Structure formats: structure tokens, C-alpha cells
Chain A
């Protein structure tokens, strides 16, 4: 199996960003621990015995084809689905065992940016960014304004606070969503498909933003993405999911030499070759 040569963008990345080395990251405490997580939708099992951990300050990229279970895993990681059976520990606390109010407290330390932004359409961009502060703190209006302006500046959206989400472009919506996700200075940041639907230049700028955030805030980031270039640019480790199972979870430097054929297919953007039984294929088409 041949391995595609790395693009110049991918090769240049490690020197530019100064990615933390493996030993340094491994020595840091795990802030996300997933153990033996299974999940079914009705009778269909979508996650099989998922176990992984993310260390403090690490950027973990979760990749996989459509229907591989990435989004379901992310929903478990951010506490939108109960980890039954299995265990999800965030910042050392077993999310499934927490009481409702403890979960609310823990969620204040987590930031999530959804695939389509999930900005509240009835509020301006600045109001969206300020919402967690307004609802969860007792800060006065002026302080909230200043904090929202700082975060909008961080994501290069200063001056856009008064606009409504409908007036923003796709990339701006994603950046505004990230600004809202980091307004409470979280320790964990989850990004769902940050580069989907964006042109390469905007996508690359968003990657730089994620790296800057990690460096400035020392946060751990979990990114779910389809974008291989982006994954190699920002990730410290890449987890590859396929049909609900983890195929590989390795450092970006080593994953390209992984011997698993499916991993190579996914990394080299090749469709899986499936042997087709002509009779069965015809039966499926005709419905006989």
C-alpha cells in the first residue's frame, strides 16, 4: 500500500507551531478519559468499546468517514448523551455519576463550538458571546461587554458584535461560536467540524486560531473533522474511527505509517474497495 506524499503545508506545520512532544504531553494529567463506551440507536450499535484519553494542553483530532460514530462520540464527550455502558471522565470527574447541579458546574469549564455554530438567531453576535456570562455569573454589564469584545478580538471578529448571526458568513459564524465557547475561559474545548463548508484560506485561518487558543489559554482541544490537512496541521494525536470502532489513535508523526489498510484508505482519501456479488447487487436494485 502506497502512502501519499505529505503536502508542503503539512510538512511545514510542526516547525511553525512548535507542537509539544509526545513525552511531555503524556506526562501531563488526563483531562478526558473515556472507558469502554458503547452506544446503540435502537437495535443498531454505533459505538463499540471506545476507550481514549486526552491530556492537558493536547489537541486530539477525531476523524472518520460519515456514519463512523464521530458525532455520537462527541455528544458523549460533551455530556449530551449518557455514557451507558461505559465511563466518561472530564477533568477527573465521572460525568455519568454527577448530580444535575454538579453537571451544570462542570459544564462551565467546557466550551463547545457546534458544526453550524448554533448561535441564537434572536440575539446579536455580542449577546450570543455574552450569554454564558449573563446567565452563569454576576458580572456587571460593562465587564461583560469588555470580555465579549476581548473574545471577539481573539477570533478576529471585533466590530461585528452588533450584527445578527444571519448577517455573518459561514466562517464568521464558526468564529463567533468559538468566541462564545471560550468566553468562560474553559479548560476543555470541543470543536465539531470547524472547517466544514469553508474555503481553504478560511479553513487554514481557523486552524491557526485553534493553535493560538491552545497556546494562549493552555486548554485541551478535541476536534472532530473530515479535513485531513487540518487534522495534520493542528492535531497532536489523531483518533480514527471506523464503523464505531477506534482503528488508530496515534501521534500525527507516526499515524501515516500505520499498517492498517482502512487507516491508509481514510488518510489517503480512498474509497473502500468492496467486492460486489453481481447477483446480490441485482437483487438489491430490483427488490426481488
Chain B
């Protein structure tokens, strides 16, 4: 009986904690947007230099690994599409599945997961270390709003860079897939690209961009919430960093499914 009570108590406590974190995330998002819009009026604008630096760290320095991953995904999709469609003798339609799969699903999701692992963890670790070292307290007593100073630049940077990386991934994936398919089916690369362009609509591109921007928001908020909730020392930093990556990836996959369902119904 005691074990059962404890079990439900744990579930209740975790649910309350999760709701608390959702509320905190919403308030962080609202406050970040407030400082973005109203910061100049209150003589505390969001720092452009810090935002650019964050974009450089999250986006530009991720280009090599993003290129490698998206190229591989493009090739993998091409191989699988040719194999599965080949069972029905429909290899020549492979470009349709590849185009939709890359633009609407794989590029946003893979870039989201990449940035969650690479930058979301860095955000959580940095915030956690700053919290432990009382640097956040120091900002507050100086009169600098920590959300404006630390969260807004990160949020803006991720909302811009994740869609940019997804667009880059589209380009690389479709090119690699096109090279493989055109070679396998003995058609010209230009013909493959023309077919792909005919089947894709602007709405498909916006679908991917919208999703990527949403993933950017999720990665930033999850990183900040975990970083700010750190307790203990170095061990605590490690825990919130791991937690941040796991939560970000889970949320990205779930949000992707919801986004796909809503946008196709």
C-alpha cells in the first residue's frame, strides 16, 4: 500500500513539475519577445553582437557536420526509394518520395536533432554553470535582465539558424540523392532536378521552415529551463545537460508528428 501511494505521489509530483516547466517556458518565451520588441524603449535592447555570435556558433560552425549528415540522408533515401519502388517497377517515381521526404521531414528533423545535441546541451551547460557561479544573480543585482541578456539572443539565433541549416540540408540532400538516382536510372541530373522542382511547391518549403523555427524555439527553451533549474555542483551540470538533450530530441520528434498531422489534414 505504501509503495502504491509512493508511486502515485511520484507521478503527481513529476506531473506538477512538468506543468511548472511548461509554464516557465511560456513565460520565458513571452519575456524574450517582450525584450525583443520593447527593449530599446526601456534602454535595454537585445544585444545584436551576442545574437550574431550565437548564430555563428550554432549555425556556421555546424555547417560541416550538417553537410555530412544531410548528404548521407539524401543518399540513404535514394537507395531505399529505388529499392522499395523497384519492387513494383516504379523506380522512375523515386524523386517524389525523396523530394517530399527531404523537404518536409528529414531536413528539419535531422537539423533539429543535430542542433539539440550540439547547441542545446551547450546552452544548458552554460546556463547551469552560470547559475551555480551566481553569475545570474550578479546580472540581476547589476540591473541587467537575465532573460534579455542571455535568453533572447539564443532564442533569436536558433529561430534563424535552424531553418537556415534545414534549407542548406535540403540543397545537399537533394543534390546527393539526385546524383545517385540519375546515375542509377541512367537519366540526366538536370532531368531529375526538373522533376523534383515540378513536384515541390512553395508550401512544402514553408512547411519545413516553419517546423525548423519551432524546433529552434523548443531547443532554446528546453536548454534554458534545464540550465536554470540546476542544483548541486558539476554533477548537477552534467545531469541537466543530458536531460536537456533527451527532452529536446523527444519534443522535436513529437512536435514533428503533430505538425505533420495538422498540416496534412
**Chain A 90-112 against B: per-residue CB contact (8 Å), 1 yes, 0 no?**
00000000000100110110101
What is the bound-complex CA distance between A288 and B19, given in angstroms? 39
The segment from B8-16, B129-137, B175-183, B242-250 found at the interface with A is B129-137
- B144 lies within 8 A of A118 (CB): no
- A105 lies within 8 A of B143 (CB): yes
- B134 lies within 8 A of A104 (CB): no
A22 to chain B, nearest CB (A): 30
- A135 lies within 8 A of B140 (CB): no
Q: Which of B141-160 contact A (CB under 8 A)?
A: 141-145, 149
- B134 lies within 8 A of A114 (CB): yes
- B142 lies within 8 A of A107 (CB): yes
Query: Given known contacts A118-B134, A121-B133, is B145 in contact with A80 (CB within 8 Å)?
Result: no
List residues of chain B with CB within 8 A of the CB of A104: 42, 44, 143, 145
List residues of chain B with CB within 8 A of the CB of A119: 135, 138
List residues of chain A with CB within 8 A of the CB of B142: 107, 112, 131-132, 135-136, 180
- B135 lies within 8 A of A120 (CB): yes
Q: Which among A79, A105, A115, A121 is the interface contact of B141 at CB below 8 angstroms?
A: A79
Which interface class (under 10, 10 to 19, 20 to 34, 35 or more) fits B?
10 to 19
A11 to chain B, nearest CB (A): 36
List residues of chain A with CB within 8 A of the CB of B145: 104
Interface presence of A78 (CB below 8 A): yes
What is the bound-complex CA distance between A110 and B138, given in angstroms? 11
- A112 lies within 8 A of B138 (CB): yes
List residues of chain B with CB within 8 A of the CB of A118: 133-135, 137-138
A119 to chain B, nearest CB (A): 8
- B42 lies within 8 A of A132 (CB): no
Interface presence of A160 (CB below 8 A): no
List residues of chain A with CB within 8 A of the CB of B43: 136, 138
List residues of chain B with CB within 8 A of the CB of A135: 44, 142-144, 149
Query: Given known contacts A108-B143, A112-B141, is B133 in contact with A101 (CB within 8 Å)?
Result: no
Of all chain A residues, the one with the shortest Cβ separation from B129 is A121
A87 to chain B, nearest CB (A): 19
- A78 lies within 8 A of B141 (CB): yes
What is the bound-complex CA distance between A190 and B138, given in angstroms? 12
Interface presence of A48 (CB below 8 A): no
B32 to chain A, nearest CB (A): 15
- A110 lies within 8 A of B141 (CB): yes
List residues of chain A with CB within 8 A of the CB of B135: 118-121
- B144 lies within 8 A of A80 (CB): no
Residues of A that sit less than 8 Å from B by CB: 78-80, 101, 104-105, 107-108, 110, 112, 114-116, 118-121, 131-132, 135-136, 138, 180, 190
Which A-B residue pairs are the 4 nearest by beta carbons?
Answer: A107-B143, A118-B138, A118-B134, A112-B141
With A108-B143, A114-B138, A135-B144 given, can you name 9 additional A-B contacts, CB distance below 8 Å?
Answer: A80-B137, A105-B143, A115-B134, A120-B130, A120-B135, A121-B129, A121-B133, A136-B43, A136-B142
Residues of B that sit less than 8 Å from A by CB: 42-44, 129-130, 133-135, 137-138, 140-145, 149
30 contacts between A and B (CB under 8 A): A78-B141, A79-B140, A79-B141, A80-B141, A101-B42, A104-B44, A105-B143, A107-B140, A107-B141, A107-B142, A112-B138, A112-B141, A114-B137, A114-B138, A115-B134, A116-B133, A118-B135, A120-B135, A120-B138, A121-B135, A131-B142, A131-B144, A132-B142, A135-B44, A135-B142, A135-B143, A136-B43, A136-B44, A136-B143, A136-B144
